[in-house]
Amino acid sequence: MDLHAITVPQDPKVLKAKTRELSALLLATGIDPKRSLLFVQSHVHEHSELAWILNCFIPMGWLQRMTQYKDKAAKQQGEQVSVGLFDYPSLMAADILLYRTDVVPIGEDQKQHVELARDTAQRFNNLFGETFVLPEPRIASVGARIMGLDDPLKKMSKSETAPNHAIALLDPPDVIRKKIMRATTDSQTTVVFDPARPGIYNLLVIYQIFTGKTKEEIEAQFAGKGYGDFKKALAETVIEGLRPLQERYKTFTADPATLDSILKEGADKARPLAQKMLAEVHKKIGLG
């Protein structure tokens, strides 16, 4: 669990249950613990230590320009805006730089965070010599930014509370059908990829992601058909596409001991890598 997510005291049992659920979901999406290290961020304290060091080299102006901070802060008031929210990009930079990361696969909305990590690494390297790898963002050519079903001008987000805004990976079939059938479109009828029509365009992108078909193939498939036919097809495609993930999730959550073991093993393997990088940083700045 990210450190910035701890905003109020929480029951340790609840936190552990949430950690297991998230871990199970990540594994269900296809992450292989034999190839990727999966662990709880706070179990490797070098993340927060490096973030504090980076704070000493990141100008305030860089963080003040972060779009996600400005958007979230605008929804909050006064003392409700925490330092953790403001400083979270520094922790993200530490997450990336601590492991000499070359490439970071992200959605389009996270590009600014990777750029900040890159700028921070460059600034540190200029001051103390080559230390950090400069990371590059890797953004998918299709589906880099999925918009809300109820508002196609706003990015789909799990933090939005509107019931029909987003499709959750664990939503049951009936819920998925309901959300998609109620998705915002427009007064036109043709099912085509037209960015000027954000509602239907967003739904078509989702369909393209799940089917792997080209834009031309999809438009030909729904030529002469209306939004109702397309939405029904999209709903069933999403349901079937998520079914294997949901089944794997149930399997993983039924075995909490294995989840705990995977997380512990991941942290045990990540910790020496993080310690080595942090020791190098300490030496460069005169702390070691």
Pairwise CA distance, residues 68 & 139, whole Å:
18
Instruction: Write down the CATH number for the domain with range 144-254.
Output: 1.10.240.10
Pairwise CA distance, residues 47 & 88, whole Å:
12
Helix (H, G, I), strand (E, B) or coil at 42: helix
Other CB atoms within 10 Å distance of the CB of residue 151: 17
258 secondary structure, DSSP code: H
Structure tokens given for 168: 């959750």
What residue segments make up the domains of the chain, in order of their start? 3-139+256-285, 144-254
Does CATH number 3.40.50.300 belong to domain 3-139+256-285?
no
- Specify the pLDDT at position 229: 97
Pairwise CA distance, residues 63 & 90, whole Å:
8
Catalytic residues: 72, 155, 158
**Mean pLDDT of successive 10-residue stretches along the chain, which has 288 residues:** 48 88 96 95 96 96 91 75 90 97 94 97 97 96 94 88 93 98 95 97 98 98 97 98 98 96 97 98 93
Bridging pattern class, strands 103-106 and 136-139: parallel
